[in-house]
Amino acid sequence: MKRLGYYNGKFGPLEEMTVPMNDRVCWFGDGVYDAGPCRNYHIFALDEHVDRFFRSAAALKIEMPVSKEELKETLYSLVRKMDQGNLFVYYQVTRGTGIRKHAFTDGPGNLWITLNPAGISDGLEPIQLITTEDTRFFHCDIKTLNLIPTVMASQKAEEAGCMEAVFYRPGGRVTEGSHSNVHILKDGVLHTAPTDHLILPGIARAHLLRACTALGIEFREEAFTLDELYAADEVIITSSSHLCRHADRIDGRDAGGKDPVLYERLRSYLLNEFFTATA
Ligand code: PMP
């Protein structure tokens, strides 16, 4: 199969799958998700993603329909049905099915899985960014399906010919990208926003910080501002879709590009880790 869709035990070609109209995701976006890359039929960092998925569900009191082990087995059994093993593995759980009412419906959630062909970027070619005010709510640490602000920000970036929108809160604190984490290098030190309720604790971010430790690069988990972003030696964007990329333009101005050696050490470490784990 080229693209696969799964819903509560049923699966088939993604384009042919249908879901019940009363799935609470249709009324309220009532669910959480997680996702990561797969190469050569090996799903990368699966335990970390599944742990976060269960944490997100627990934060919203969604009853999981499967255990962590069952989910991993299901993901692998579906991945093995695919024509090729370079994929983006996406899963979400929604809070069951029921006539629309705000308070919870009883019973376990609905499990959705999609598999789509994908490859990660090698992180060599710089990307372009815009910035936009972060008008999201205060639960950004939970990976919920309420993604309208990030949809609007991503569209704004696309219309500006850019790859990603970087969010900032009033006062200028940079939080994260619309679907990535944002970090800067300045004078040999990596700065990244702390994992409070304003950002998603990215799995690729965690790998970046572990890379810093392994390579002896100092890092600080402290908020940084838009001005610091514009003046950074390098601007690094991480996410599970593309692991590690750097930016050369922000809001139409030149950015980063002043510490290519340090960026390259991090990029090659992270790519190596990915290729080794999925060989
Ligand atoms: N922040 C947001 C808002 C995201 O959607 C993502 C992508 N999942 C990330 C950060 C990066 O997280 P990860 O490295 O786990 O993909």
Nearest 10 degrees: Cα torsion 262, 216, 271, 144: -100
Of the residues 61, 68, 143, 156, only one is catalytic, namely: 143
What integer is the mean pLDDT of 217-235?
Answer: 98
Q: What is the pLDDT of residues 39-92, one digit of tens each?
A: 999 999 999 999 999 999 999 999 999 999 999 999 999 999 999 999 999 999
Which pLDDT belongs to residue 49? 98
Look at residues 249, 275, 238 and name the one whose alpha carbon lies nearest to residue 123: 238
Where along the chain do its domains lie?
A: 4-117, 162-277
Asked whether 149 lines ligand 1 (CB < 6 A), one says no
What pLDDT was estimated at residue 128? 98
Residue 185 near residue 262 (C-beta atoms within 8 A): yes
Ligand 1, atom 3: nearest CA belongs to which residue?
A: 179
| Structure tokens that stand for 149 in this block | 């602000």
Instruction: Report the percent of the chain where pLDDT is more than 90.
Output: 100
Q: Is the CB of 200 under 6 A from ligand 1?
A: yes
What local confidence, expressed as pLDDT, does residue 245 receive?
98
pLDDT of 271: 98
Mean pLDDT of 206-213: 98
- Indicate if ligand 1 lies below 6 Å from the C-beta of 243: no
Atom 1, ligand 1: residue with shortest CA distance = 180
pLDDT (tens digit per residue) in 81-118: 999 999 999 999 999 999 999 999 999 999 999 999 99
Q: Which of 36, 19, 35, 40 is nearest to 82 (CA)?
A: 40
143 is catalytic: yes
Kindly report the average pLDDT of the chain as a whole number.
98
Asked whether 34 lines ligand 1 (CB < 6 A), one says: no
The answer to whether the CB of 234 falls within 8 A of the CB of 248 is no
Q: What is the pLDDT of residues 9-34, one digit of tens each?
A: 999 999 999 999 999 999 999 999 99
Query: What's the rounded Cα separation, in Å, for the pair 183 and 11?
Result: 38
Ligand 1 test: best mutation among 148, 164, 180, 197, most atoms within 8 Å of CB?
Answer: 180
Question: What band does 227 get if pLDDT is binned at 50, 70 and 90?
Answer: very high
The structure tokens 């994929």 sit at 87
Q: Does domain 162-277 have CATH number 3.20.10.10?
A: yes
Could you identify the atom of ligand 1 that is nearest to the CA of residue 204?
14
- Which atom number of ligand 1 is nearest to the Cα of residue 178? 3
Q: What is the pTM of this model?
A: 0.97
Smallest CA-to-CA distance from 104 within 91, 116, 92, 95 is with 95
- CA of 260 relative to ligand 1 center, distance in Å: 24
256: Cβ below 6 Å to ligand 1?
A: no
The answer to whether the CB of 166 is under 6 A from ligand 1 is no
**Mind giving me the DSSP string for 151-198?**
HHHHHHHHHTT-SEEEEE-TTSBEEEESSSEEEEEETTEEEE--SSTT
For 85, the token pair is 């093993």
pLDDT one-digit tens code per residue, 108-152: 999 999 999 999 999 999 999 999 999 998 999 999 999 999 999
If you measure from the C-alpha of residue 239 to the centroid of ligand 1, how many angstroms do you get, rounded to a whole number? 5
Architecture of domain 4-117: 2-Layer Sandwich (3.30)
CA distance 49 to 242: 15
What pLDDT, on a 0 to 100 scale, did the predictor assign at position 41? 98
- Please compute the mean of the pLDDT values over residues 199-209 and round it to a whole number: 98
Q: 55, 43, 30: which is closest to 110 by C-alpha?
A: 30
Task: Answer whether 154 contacts ligand 1 (Cβ < 6 A).
Answer: no
Of 134-138, 151-155, 208-212, the range with the lowest mean pLDDT is: 134-138
Q: Which tokens hold the place of 256?
A: 């980063």
